[in-house]
Chains A and B, each alone.
Chain A
Amino acid sequence: MQASISTKRSFIVQHRYWIIAAAIVLFLPPLSFFFQLTQESSFCGTWCPRMFFVWKKGATASQFFMGFLRSYMGVALVVSIMVSTFFFGRYWCSHLCPVGGAMETGNRLVPKALKIDYKHTPASSIRYGYLLVYLAAPALGIGNLCCNYCNFATIPRLFGAAFSQADMANFLRGAGLVNLGLVAVLGVFAVGGRGYCNLLCPIGAIDALFNRLGIRVGRRVRVDGDKCNGCGACGKVCPLWAIDVKEKAVIDQLSCMPCRQCQKICAQEAIGYGKVQT
């Protein structure tokens, strides 16, 4: 597959951490700017992107539809993410998501010796096993992953806990502490800081499918096989362990987000961003 890629290090490549920092400031406490536009203070409620598409056993069609209305900003967010991913790749995940961004940023403060490397785990197997149960358990009426295990609830409250007793209350219970543990072990203390995103984020899992589906139509991070010398530097810096390097680097579009760390590290300028040549 011939690709027409640009190796230009544009603003969004060079300043990704500044964009993430801006998203954190605008989304998360103490400012919670975006949430306050709709009378909220976190992702829970109107902005919840993870609950509305989960059908629960016994729910009628109208109850299911009411969930879409209740979380209308979450619905708008998810639709925007999927459409933009199809055409441009997973920029929400790499640049804008304050939750994944906070874990990745926190990860930069952790000494290398303390980081856990998940590179040898097949991310997509775990991710879609989790997504299957995420959708099936409530449909069968046997339980729920949604809400009980949610970093979209944990991270904003972690930021708010220093200021708000309501946010602090989230961590005075077993589920709150387990969520905090998951954010630490799979996020902040994982090599690259994106283990949670890669394994347990249901939006990330669905988004990754759109990324894979739009591979021929949309722009993606791609490898120029003629230039790649198989040095493996890109695989080492990929926070989603999406690059497999044997003779040449191969990017798994079912995991890749366009953070473009690989592009920045590639001395051969063999990795760039673009469409498939027609």
Chain B
Amino acid sequence: MKKVVFFVLSVFISLFAATYRWGDSAHSMGLIKAEGGKALHPAFLESGWGGYTLISTATVIPPYSGDVRIVLEGQPQLSYSLYASHPVIDLGLRRLPTFKDDVFYGLMPGDRIALWAVIKPPTVDPVCKMPHQENFIRHTHNGKDYFFCSEGCLSEFQNSPGKYKDDRYVEGKYKLVFYDTKTDKSVLSVPVIFAAKGEASHAGQHQH
């Protein structure tokens, strides 16, 4: 009986874990092609998180070879850092493409790359979500600075500050684009979609 109970419990907890969508991270797989490669599926991320991690893996399809510059495109511009998975100590057993200043150097057919994009959404007015501008009104609450587009938004915040905690926010469609440095043509474009909870039904799901 004890074994049956634990089996059923295990199934239910595992089902919850399997169906839970991680809104702050996503994994996308794609193909780098000379004529312009595509991702298998867009990367969905849930709006409202203070930071995101996008894992983008790609395989280089023959005959493409070259250097690629990677850019996260969209408006408003996001602050991001790109990191490539690479052995800590390169033993020189196999040729590896190198990654520096957002550029992969020496990609060859068959290479598989893994890129980590750590994305920080822009500062916004926590009430209306308008991106921060220089003329915004600064207001300090519990030792933290918030910025508001108008007196109306500020007074709404002051009335119920607990309701408006997120002062970093992004929504909309972006693209992680891999450009060949010689031709400036896109060799891979990964759609990155930031959407509110519920709209992004696949938010953060790792699919392969």
- Interface on A for B, CB 8 Å cutoff? 29-33, 35-42, 44-46, 51, 56, 67, 121-122, 124-130, 132-134, 137, 142-149, 160, 163-167, 169-170, 172-176
Contacts and interface: CB of A to CB of B under 8 A. Distances in A.
Given A45-B112, A67-B208, A173-B52, 11 more contacts: A36-B94, A41-B85, A41-B87, A44-B114, A45-B114, A46-B112, A56-B207, A122-B3, A137-B19, A144-B206, A147-B206
Given A29-B87, A36-B94, A45-B112, A145 B27 contact: no
Contacts of A132: 11, 14
29 contacts: A30-B89, A31-B88, A31-B91, A32-B87, A33-B91, A36-B87, A36-B90, A37-B93, A39-B95, A39-B111, A45-B114, A56-B207, A122-B6, A124-B3, A125-B7, A126-B9, A132-B14, A134-B14, A142-B15, A144-B18, A160-B88, A166-B86, A166-B114, A169-B53, A169-B83, A172-B51, A172-B53, A176-B25, A176-B53
Nearest to B49: A174
A169 B4 contact: no
Interface in B63-109: 81, 83-91, 93-96
B6 A125 contact: yes
A32 B184 CA distance: 34
Contacts, number: 150
B22 interface: yes
A36 B93 contact: yes
Interface of B: prevailing SS: mixed
A32 B88 CA distance: 8
A204 B93 CA distance: 30
Given A29-B87, A31-B89, A130 B10 contact: yes
A125 B2 CA distance: 9
A133 B93 contact: no
Point out which of A56, A149, A173 has the most chain B C-beta atoms below 10 A from its C-beta.
A173
Interface residues on B, range: 35 or more
A102 B14 CA distance: 24
Interface of B: 2-4, 6-11, 14-15, 17-20, 22-25, 27, 51-53, 57, 81, 83-91, 93-96, 111-112, 114, 116, 118, 204-208
A174 B14 contact: no
A37 B11 CA distance: 38
Point out which of A32, A39, A172 has the most chain B C-beta atoms below 10 A from its C-beta.
A39
A166 B93 contact: no
A33 B91 CA distance: 8
B106 to A, nearest CB: 12
A185 to B, nearest CB: 14
Given A128-B7, A143-B205, A174 B22 contact: yes
Given A46-B112, A169-B118, A174-B22, A125 B94 contact: no
A197 B175 CA distance: 39
B45 to A, nearest CB: 10
Contact of B2 (A46, A122, A143): A122
Contact of B88 (A30, A127, A133, A172): A30
Contacts of A166: 83-86, 114, 116
A165 B52 CA distance: 15
A143 B25 contact: no
Contacts of A163: 88
Contacts of B17: 133, 145, 148-149
A35 B88 CA distance: 12
A134 B15 CA distance: 9
Given A133-B18, A134-B14, A165-B83, A125 B114 contact: no
B29 to A, nearest CB: 9
